[in-house]
Structure 1
């Protein structure tokens, strides 16, 4: 192990014997008592020395035997240490690509804030390169989500859509102006390649993927059609549910941005649960949706550029949290933000007992004694 105090956390002395690591309440920690000699020794925990060399340095500083080991254990238990040589074989392979790692250095520092075990930040960053994500929809939201995930180190990002790029699809970080008139899928794939910090690990050849391919770590549904954003069709995700593929909804509808729900098949609520709940609450809902979907006129929906970019950023962040092994707050909820107030609201999507997805049964197992009628 080559210990390094997590560089993402700024360090400051609260008093002569207390050190604060980090500035923000979400991640700041205080450690004390810390004497002056130990405080000076912290500067040596920069990842360039192994534990044995650190012990030699401690002896030169007249620190007592065992002091280094106790300090390393103490800081490690507090989640303040990383291992500059950690990350396993995948981490070592990533270190051998310095041009890629330099691009991802801020992402690595961010992962260090949310992991506790030394070596975990690089291990998780390297693991992203083995994940496969499909984005369905290459409009203002979908194309930006795909580029963001690629830029954050996701190994393979596939984009599905039809038609050609329109002038109003162009966004910074998404589809460029020179792509107008090109096939959407082709333009989005080029954006993904431009954003990638390096070539993803080479994969074996395979046949074209169908929509329910269980090999996807995650599928993101970001339709350009605002009705599909507001009232996602459960049929569009049937193959994802049957194959057990996690999927996340996102989009913009009439000046309202939506991220979620993240559907973990059989565990969390799905588009069918959302539809059933709306029918329960509003008997006119099916009639309204049928009218909205039947409109054939060519129209450009209200999709504010900054709102679409905000939704894309939040969606990509929740997708990365899931890919990194966490369950983000979009699991079982839709986050919504509307112009002009721009206040985010989480709207729960409860598993519905009449939905065939099976999440309601799992939900009751996890919430014994709760009456679903009270939700």
Structure 2
């Protein structure tokens, strides 16, 4: 182990005996009492020395025997310590790609804030390179979202969409102006290749994409350009994903509202079918409205504010990365919504419904849906079981398997 105080946390002395690591309430910690010699020794914890060399340095500074090991343990328990050579073989391979790692250093520093185990941050960053994500939809939201995932180190991002790039598809980070008239999927792939810090791995054994749920995908993001599909996702479109146990996340813009979620863990959390059933329970006219919206004449250009679309793409990418890194983001079983012009984010739970064949209701007995009023505050969201959270943290590039 080569201990290193996490460089992502700024350090400052609150008084002569107490040091504070970090500035924001979400991550700041204080450590004390700490004498001047120990405070000076912190500068040596920069990842260039192993424990034996650190002990020698401690003796030269007249620190008591065992003091260095005790300090390292304290810092490690507090989640303030990283290992400059930790993370395993995949992390070592990433370190050898200096140009790639330099592109990802801000992401690595950010991951160090949310991990406690030394070496865990780079292990997770390296693990992203083996993940496969599919983004369905390459409009203002989907194309930018795909580029963000590729830029954050996800090894293989596949984009699916039809048609050709229109002038209103152009967005910074997505389709460039010169791509107008090109195929949407090809233009999006060029954009994400430019965003990616490394070439995706070769996967000759992976079959070409199809409409079926591919169990090789760690996550599928549904980012339709159609505003009705954003507001009321068709459960039939996700049936192959549900059958294959593939986690999927919804995102998009409908009129002046941006939507992120739900993140669906098949058999565990509320899905598009559950969302439809609950809406039909609350509003008997809902199925009639949906039928009209889906079959009605479509406008040539749907409202999709550029900054709102970019905001949705960024938040959806952050939720996707959190899931890929083994966390359970707040979009799990919930839809985050934000509307122009006030831009107040709020979450609407997507409860499992007993009439939906997804089976999630069996795991959520005792939970009750809320009204879908526009002014409701953020509510607690049903979480997957501890057993499934552990499965997510250890999940290889593959499918989510619910424990039933």
Whether these two folds match at TM > 0.5 is yes
Deviation at 1:215, TM superposition (A): 0.5
Residue 255 of structure 2 is matched in structure 1 by 254
Cα gap change, 1:323 to 1:374, in 2 (>3 Å): closer
CA 1:242–1:70 in structure 2 vs 1: closer, same or farther (change >3 Å)?
A: same
Matches within 5 A, 1:223-302: 223-302=224-303
Residue 200 of structure 1 and its aligned partner are, at CA, apart by: 2.5
Match of 2:346 in 1: 345
Q: Which residue pairs with 1:91 in the alignment?
A: 91
Q: Within 2, Cα distance between the matches of 1:244 and 1:176?
A: 35
Structure 1 partner of 2:42 = 42
Gaps of 5+ in 2: 372-404
Residue in structure 2 matched with residue 372 of structure 1 by the alignment: 368
**Alignment partners' CA distance in 1, 2:165 and 2:6:** 44
Match of 1:192 in 2: 192
Is it true that 1:209 corresponds to 2:209 in the alignment? yes
Question: In the TM superposition, what is the alpha-carbon distance from 1:371 to its structure 2 partner?
Answer: 5.8
Determine the C-alpha separation between the residues in 2 that align with 1:202 and 1:68: 45
Aligned 1:78-157 pairs, distance under 5 A: 78-157=78-157
Counterpart-to-counterpart distance in 1, 2:339 and 2:184: 27
Cα offset, 1:354, TM superposition: 0.5
The whole-number CA distance in structure 2 between the counterparts of 1:57 and 1:266 is 55
Calculate the TM-score normalised by the size of structure 1. 0.97
Residues 7 and 356 of structure 1: is their aligned pair in 2 closer, same or farther, counting only changes over 3 Å? same
Distance 2:123 2:202 in 1: 19
Q: Which residue matches 2:393?
A: none
Instruction: Name 1:22's counterpart in structure 2.
Output: 22
- In 1, distance between residues paired with 2:31 and 2:239? 51
Q: Name the CA distance, whole Å, in 2 between partners of 1:17 and 1:308.
A: 48
Secondary structure of 1:327's aligned partner? coil
Offset at residue 295 of structure 1 (A): 1.8
Distance 1:118 1:14, change over 3 A: same
Cα 1:129–1:312 shift into 2, 3 Å: same
Residues in 2 aligned to 1:176 and 1:374: alpha-carbon distance in whole angstroms:
42
TM-score (ref. length: structure 2): 0.90
Instruction: Give distance in 2, aligned partners of 1:373 and 1:164.
Output: 41
Q: Structure 1 residue 199: deviation in Å?
A: 1.3
Residue 317 of structure 2 is aligned to residue 316 of structure 1: yes
Q: Secondary structure at the match of 1:56?
A: helix
Deviates more, 1:206-215 or 1:54-63: 206-215
Determine helix, strand or coil for the equivalent of 2:364.
Answer: helix
Check 1:295–1:87 CA distance in 2 against 1; reply closer, same or farther (3 A cut).
same
Asked if the contact 2:147–2:192 (Cα under 8 Å) also holds between the matched residues in 1, the reply is yes
* Shift >6 Å, 4+ stretches: none
Give me the whole-angstrom Cα distance separating, in 1, the residues matched to 2:243 and 2:207.
Answer: 20
Aligned to 2:357: 356
- Provide the C-alpha distance between the structure 2 equivalents of 1:308 and 1:373, rounded to a whole number of angstroms: 28
CA offsets 1:237-266 (integer angstroms, 9 cap, x no match): 000000000000000001100000000000
* 323-332 or 193-202: bigger deviation: 193-202
- What is the match of residue 367 of structure 1? none
**CA, structure 1 residues 137+269, in 2 after alignment: closer, same or farther (shift >3 Å)?**
same
Shift in Å, 1:299: 1.8
Aligned CA RMSD, in angstroms, stands at 1.0
Which whole-Å deviations, capped at 9, do the CAs of 1:23-56 have from their partners, x for residues lacking one? 0000000000000000000000000000000001
Structure 1: stretches of 5+ with no match in the other structure = 365-369
